[in-house]
Structure 1
Amino acid sequence: MKKPETLRSARWFAPDDLRGFGHRSRIMQMGYSPEDWAGKPVIGIINTWSDINPCHAHFKQRVEDVKRGVLQAGGFPVELPAQSLAEQYVKPSTMLYRNLLAMETEELIRCHPIDGAVLMGGCDKTTPALLMGATSAGVPAIYVPAGPMLRGNWEGKTLGSGSDAWKYWDERRAGNITPVQWLGIEGGIARSHGHCMTMGTASTMTAIAEAIGMSLPGASSIPAADANHIRMCAESGRRIVQMVLEDLTPDKIQVRAAYINAIHVAMAMGCSTNAIIHLVAMARRAGCNIGLEDFDAASRNIPVIANIRPSGDTYLMEDFYYAGGLRALMARLKPHLDLGLMTVSGKTVGENLEGARVYNDDVIRSLDNAIYTEGSLAVLRGNIAPDGCVIKPAAADQRLLQHTGKALVFDSYPDMKARINRADLDVSADHVLVLRNVGPQGGPGMPEWGMIPIPQKLVEQGVRDMVRISDARMSGTSYGACILHVAPESFIGGPLALVQTGDEISIDVPARRIHLEVSPEELARRKAAHAPLPPRYERGYGWMFTRHIQQADSGCDFDFLQTGFGQPAGEPDIF
C-alpha cells in the first residue's frame, strides 16, 4: 500500500520550500484547509459535461456523486473539465477530435497534482479518448460511463435512437409519414439524458471499457436515469482512492488478453463497426498489438447473442439491463473469456461474474440460440481494400452478402447529397453506391457518412437496402449492407480513388472478399493518371491532424502518440 509521502501529489504539496508554499497557499485561496488534502490521494475527475452534450447532461450532478465517494474513502476530489465531443453537433466529425481529447486527458493528468483519475464519458468518442489518454498517462484510472437513455416512444411504438431515425426518415421520404407525425418522432425518440440506447457506438464502447476491466462490473449497462447510476458513480469515487493506494495502474489491467476479451464481448453484443477503430487505437496505446485479424477471427467463432437493435429486432439497452446486463452476457461467454485477468474492482473477471444471471433469454440469448451465428463484424480484403474494410453482416439484408453490381461513384459528400435524390439518377437496386474522399484525411476526420442514403427513386419503389462502399465510418445505430473503413483511403491515393461509374464490384462476405472487376493493367493506367487532391488544412490542429493521422486499420491514432514512438515525458521536475 502506498504511504502518504509516496503519493504523486505529495511532490506538489508536501515540501517545506517556496514551491510547496505556493501550491499550498493557492489551494487555501479556494477555501481548503490542510485537513482537506494533506496526506490524502488527490483524485482528478475528468468531466466531459457541457451545455450542448445531451448524452452527458446529467454529469453536472453525477460529478458531485463521484466527489462524495472520493471523500467517503478519504481522498481529495478535484474536477477537471475536458472537451465534451457531442456527437450530434460537432462537425465535420467528432472523430476529428478524438485524439485531441486523448491528448488533453493525458496532459491534464500529467501536469496536475493527480494521484488517480475518474474518467466521465459515454458519448461515442469520449470513451476511447479518455481511456487512451489515461492509459498513456499511467496513473490509476477508472471509467464512469454515462449510461444509455430511456427507450423512446411515439404513438405507442418503442423507438430506438438512430436506428429508428433512419427507418422513419425513409418512410417520410417515401411519403408515408406526415410532418406532424415526424415532429412527434423528433420529440419522442430521446426522452432522457444519456447516450443512445441502441447498440450504437456509445453502448458498444462503454461495454468494451467494462470488458477490458476499466469500469466497475455492471456499470456500463445501467440506464442514465436509474438511481443505480448515482450509486455507481459514488462507488467509482470510493474505488479509485483504493486503487491509488494499491497502485493499480492501467498497464496491470490492459494486457492483450483483456482486449481479446473485449473483442469477444463486442462481437456477442452486435457491436458498432466503430469498435474496430477505437479498440485498435486503445490497445496500441497500452502496448498491445491488436489488428483486424483479431476481429475477424473472433467473428468466426463468437455468435451475436444480444438481441438489441440494430442487429436485433426488438429490444433496447434498457431491456438489456433488466435482462441482467453486461455481467449476464459475459457469464454466457465464459468459455470464450480469460477469467483470470485483473480489473479496476480489484477482482478478476471471473470473480466479477460470480452470481451473474440472465433474466430474459430472448434479450440475452444462449450461445446455441444466437440471433446471428457469426459475430457482429466481418473484415473483407481485396484489390479495392488491400488493408481491409469492414461490414456488419448481422445488420444487413442477407441477400446482399454475396453480390456483384455496377458502381455508381460519388466523389464527395456534397456530390452525393446533390445527386442522390435526383429523379434522373441512373441507378437500380443492384448498383453498388461508392462514396470516396471521406476517410481520415479526406473527410476530414472520417465522418459517419458511410450509410449512404438509398436514392429517392428507389425508396419510393420500396427498396430499403443496397450495397454501399466508402472509406468513411457509419453510426453504430445504422444498419444495412454498408462496407466501411476502406484502407488505404482514396484521398491519399488508395484503390477506391480508381473506381469509375460502371465498373463491376463483387463482394463475398462468407469468403471475406471484395474485388473490383478491373484488370491490373487498367488499374495501373488509372493510377498513373490520378491527380492527388490538395490538403484539407493549411494551419492549426487540422494541419497537425493531416500529417500524423494513421489509417483506419491502424486505429486512426496520431503516429507520435503510439507506444514505441518515443519515451513518455515522465514526471514534471520543475518544482
Structure 2
Amino acid sequence: MSDKKAKLRSAEWFGTNDKNGFMYRSWMKNQGIPDHEFDGRPIIGICNTWSELTPCNAHFRKIAEHVKRGISEAGGFPVEFPVFSNGESNLRPTAMLTRNLAAMDVEEAIRGNPIDAVVLLCGCDKTTPALLMGAASCDVPAIVVTGGPMLNGKLDGKDVGSGTAVWQLHESLKAGEIDLHKFLSAEAGMSRSAGTCNTMGTASTMACMAEALGVSLPHNAAIPAVDARRYVLAHMSGMRIVEMALEDLKLSKLLTREAFLNAIRANAAIGGSTNAVIHLKAIAGRIGVALDLDDWVHIGRNTPTIVDLMPSGRFLMEEFYYAGGLPAVLRRLGEANLLPHPDALTANGKTLWHNVKEAPLYNDEVIRPLDKPLVADGGIRVLRGNLAPRGAVLKPSAATPALLKHRGRAVVFEHFEHYKSRILDESLDVDENSVLVLKNCGPKGYPGMAEVGNMGLPPKLLKRGVKDMVRISDARMSGTAYGTVVLHVTPEAAAGGPLAAIQDGDWIELDCDAGTLHVDISDAEMASRLERYTPLEAPKTGGYQRLYIDHVLQADEGCDLDFLVGCRGATVPRHSH
C-alpha cells in the first residue's frame, strides 16, 4: 500500500489479508460490493438524520443519493448510516433533551466504524449541533450538508413565516382579532414544501453558523430545500469530502477559536437565534476551544443586524438566498473590517474571505447596507446581575426597543403548567408594565430546557392592544419567536439559582445597554428566600432522562452532559475476531 492509503482509518478494517481483513470485507460483500471497492479508497460515511417523524429532514434520502454520486465520482466509497433524528416539531418534551443523545450516537457510530471522513446531513434545529458535536469529539474530516429551508409560506396571498406565523396568529386569536377558522386556515399554507423553517429560526441560524464556521461549502445555509441547486451542492460536498479525507483536513483545523468568533459576528448580522449561544458553546467544548458568554459581549455587540428576515424583519429564507445568502453578508462585513478572522480556513481548503470577497449581492432590502441596518446593534445581549449571576441572553432584533430598558413588577409562574392555567385568569394582577417570570424550565427543570420562554401574553392585555411585555425565564425560545424575552437565566431555578426566589410583586429592572438584570431585594433577603425555597419534585424517571438530569451542564456551559465534553479522537481498540 502507498503511504497515502496507509493513513486511512479504514485500512485497519479492510486493508489486511489476515483473518480480520477477510471477515470485514466478506461481511460487507453481502451487499453486492465488488473487490475493487476495498482497494484503499477513502471510506466516506454519510451520517443521515432522515426520519418521517422529523419533517424538516424527510427529504434527506434524495439528498443522500446526490452526496453518494459526488463521493463515487471523486473515487470514494460511500456508506450511509442512520443516527437518532431529534426533530423539533414532534418530539416531546423537547428535542433539546435528546440533542446530547444524538451526539453520543454520532460519536460512537463514527469512531466504531471503518470511516475515514463523514458527511453530516442535518437540518432541523438540534440535528446540526448534535452532528457537529459528535463528529468534533472524534475529530475526523467532516463536512455539513443541510436540507435547506422550505419555500415561503402563503396566507391570503401574502408571505407568512413558519413558526413565526403560529405565534402571531395565536396571539391574534386570543385577542379576538381573528376567529378559529382563520387561525386554522394558515396551517397548510405555512409549511408547503420540504425543508426547515423558512424564517431565521434556529435551523436557518445553525445552517448559517455551520457556513460561517467553515464546515460547509459556501451557500449551503440558504439554498431552498426543493431548489435543484441544493442537490448540486450535495454532489459537490460529496466530491470535496473525499479530498478532505486524503488531505486529513480534520475538524480541529476548521473549528478553531477564530472560526467561532467569526460565527458570533455573523449571528449578530443575520439576527440569529439565541439558541446559537448554547449550541456553539457545546460544539466548542467538544473540540476543545475556549468560548464563553463574554465572547458574545466582545464580538457580538456593536454589530448591525443587516438581514431583514422574520421574526425580526420582513422577508424569508427564499429571498435571503436570492439576495446573495450568507456569502453576501460575510462580504459586507469583511469590507467593513467586521470579520474578526477573515483568514480562517474552511472546508473547501480556502479561507473564509477568499470564499466571499467577490460574492454577489442582489437585494439591498433583504441584505441591507451597514449604514441602513435593521437594528444598529443587533448582537445577542448578555445580561448579568443578582437575578442571573452567570448570565442570561436577549435577542434585541426581535425585541421592542422601548422595553430594552424597563422596570416592572414580577408576575411569577412556578412552572409551565402553572403559567398555562394562571395566564388565562381574567383576575390576574397584571398590566403592560409587569414582568412575566417563568421558573423551572431550564436544563434540569423541564427537563431539557424547552422553548417556552416566549410566554404568550395575558388575553385580557392582548384584547387591549398590548403586543409585547418583558418576559424572563430559565427556558429557551424558538428562533422563530419574537418579543422582549430574557432567556437562559443561569443558574436555573431547579439548580437553586436566584430565579427560584422571585415572588409576585418584586421589582425587576432590565437594562440591555448596561447588560444588567436586577431584582430589588437585598442579598440577605435573597439568601433567606432560597433557604426556604422548596424545589419541585424531580420527575420520577429512569433511562436517558435520568442520565440527562444528573449530568447536564447549565446554559452558559452549553447544556452538554458533563462527561461528554472534550475531544476523544477517532482511535478505537483493534478487535481480533
| TM-score calculated relative to the size of structure 1 | 0.98
1:210-238: CA deviation from partner (whole Å, max 9, x where unpaired): 10110001111111010000100011111
2:312 corresponds to 1:311: yes
Match of 2:419 in 1: 416
The residue number in structure 2 matching 1:156 is 157
Secondary structure of the structure 1 residue equivalent to 2:242: helix
SS where residue 429 of structure 1 aligns? coil
Say whether 1:10 aligns with 2:11.
Answer: yes
Q: Tell me the CA shift for residue 128 of structure 1.
A: 0.6
Shift of 1:572: 2.8
| 1:336 matched residue in structure 2 | 338
Look up the match of 1:165.
166
| 107-116 or 416-425, larger mean C-alpha shift | 416-425
Counterpart mapping for 1:101-500 below 5 A: 101-312=102-313, 314-334=314-334, 335-337=337-339, 338-500=341-503
Counterpart of 1:92 in structure 2 is 93
Equivalent positions of 1:542-557 (< 5 A) are 542-557=545-560
Distance 1:88 1:189 in 2: 14
Encode CA deviations 1:257-296: one digit per residue, 9 max, x unaligned: 0000000001100010101000111112121111111112
Shift of 1:309: 1.0
Alpha-carbon distance in structure 2 between the residues aligned to 1:269 and 1:210: 13
1-side partners of 2:533 and 2:571: how far apart?
45
Task: Evaluate the alpha carbon distance shift between residue 462 and residue 394 of structure 1 in structure 2; reply closer, same or farther with a 3 A threshold.
Answer: same
Decide which moves more: 535-544 or 84-93: 535-544
Q: What's the CA shift string for 1:136-194, capped at 9, x where partnerless? A: 11111000011111000011111001112111111112222223222320011111011
Do the aligned residues in 1 keep the contact of 2:494 with 2:535 (CA within 8 Å)? yes
Contact 1:309 1:315 in 2 (8 A): yes
State the AA in 2 paired with 1:114.
I
For 1:148 and 1:122, locate their aligned partners in 2 and report how far apart those are by CA, in whole Å.
8
Opposite residue 338 of structure 2, the aligned amino acid is H
The equivalent residue for 2:542 is 539
Measured after TM superposition, the shift of residue 537 of structure 1 is 4.7
Q: Hey, what's the Cα distance between the residues in 2 that align with 1:339 and 1:393?
A: 26
The one-letter code of the counterpart of 1:522 is E
Amino acid at match of 1:293: D
The SS at the match of 2:100 is helix
Which SS does the other structure have where 1:119 is aligned?
strand
> Which amino acid letter does the alignment assign opposite residue 223 of structure 1?
P
Relative distance call for 1:537 and 1:127 in structure 2 (3 A) is farther
SS at match of 1:434: strand
- Could you tell me the percent identity over the aligned residues? 49
1:377–1:391 CA contact under 8 A, matched in 2: yes
Correspondence for 1:69: 70
Contact 1:269 1:376 in 2 (8 A): no
CA contact (8 A) 1:149 1:223 kept: yes
Query: What's the offset of the Cα at 1:532?
Result: 3.2
* Pairwise CA distance, 1:569: 7.2
Instruction: Give the drift of 1:556.
Output: 0.6
Secondary structure class of the residue paired with 1:369: coil
Cα displacement (A) at 1:430: 1.0
How far is the alpha carbon of 1:568 from its aligned partner?
A: 5.1
Instruction: State the alpha-carbon separation in 1 of the partners of residues 15 and 301 from structure 2.
Output: 55
Q: What is the letter of the counterpart of residue 321 of structure 2?
A: Y
Change (3 A) 1:569 1:69: closer
SS of the equivalent of 1:301 reads: coil
Report the equivalent of 1:515.
518
Counterparts of 2:300 and 2:382 in 1: how far apart (Å)? 9
Structure 2: runs of 5 or more not aligned? none
Verify the 8 A CA contact 2:139 2:570 in the aligned structure 1: no
Partner Cα distance (2:563, 2:150) in 1: 36
SS in 1 for 2:321: helix
What secondary structure sits across from 1:311 in the alignment? coil
- The one-letter code of the counterpart of 2:233 is M
| 3-state SS of 1:510 partner | coil
Deviations 1:87-116 (A, max 9, x none): 111111111011111111111100000011
AA aligned opposite 1:43: I
- Does structure 1 conserve the Cα–Cα contact (< 8 Å) formed by 2:139 and 2:287? no
CA RMSD of the aligned region, Å? 1.3
What SS does the corresponding residue of 2:350 show, helix, strand or coil?
coil
2:285 partner letter: R
* Cα offset, 1:76, TM superposition: 0.7
Q: Is the 8 A contact 1:111 1:572 kept in 2?
A: no
- Paired AA for residue 330 in structure 2: M
CA 1:183–1:534 in structure 2 vs 1: closer, same or farther (change >3 Å)?
A: closer
Q: 1:393 is matched by which residue type in structure 2?
A: P
Distance 1:400 1:123 in 2: 31
Question: Which piece of structure 1 moves more, 522-531 or 321-330?
Answer: 522-531
Please state how far the C-alpha of 1:366 moved relative to its aligned partner.
1.5
- 353-362 or 325-334: bigger deviation: 353-362
SS of the residue 2:509 aligns to: strand
Q: Residue in 2 aligned with 1:504? A: 507
CA distance in 1, matches of 2:36, 2:442: 53
Unaligned runs of 5+ in 1: none
What one-letter code is carried by the residue in structure 2 that aligns with 1:201? T
How has the CA–CA distance of structure 1 residues 526 and 267 changed in structure 2, closer, same or farther, with 3 Å as cutoff?
Answer: same
Which has the higher mean CA deviation after the structures are superposed, 324-333 or 37-46?
Answer: 37-46
Using the TM superposition, give the Cα deviation of residue 300 of structure 1 relative to its aligned residue in structure 2, in angstroms.
2.2
**Matches of 2:273 and 2:74 in 1, distance apart?**
37
Which letter does structure 1 place at the counterpart of 2:322? Y
SS at match of 1:46: strand
**Does the Cα contact within 8 Å between 2:300 and 2:379 map onto a contact in 1?**
yes
**Residues 324, 356 of structure 1: 8 Å contact kept:** yes
Q: CA–CA distance in 2 between the matches of 1:316 and 1:498?
A: 41
Q: What is the TM-score of this pair, normalised by structure 2?
A: 0.97
Counterpart Cα distance in 2 of 1:257 and 1:299: 14
**Cα gap change, 1:146/1:504 in structure 2, threshold over 3 Å: closer, same or farther?**
same
Aligned mates of 2:3, 2:473 — CA distance in 1: 51
Distance 1:533 1:55 in 2: 35
Residues 471-499 of structure 1 deviation map (CA, whole Å, 9 limit, x = unaligned): 00000010001100000000011000000
Q: Secondary structure at the match of 1:485?
A: strand
Instruction: Read off the aligned partner of 2:348 and give its amino acid letter.
Output: S
Deviation of residue 413 (structure 1)?
0.7
Aligned equivalents of 1:185, 1:2: Cα separation in 2:
60
Question: Greater shift after overlay, 435-444 or 516-525?
Answer: 516-525
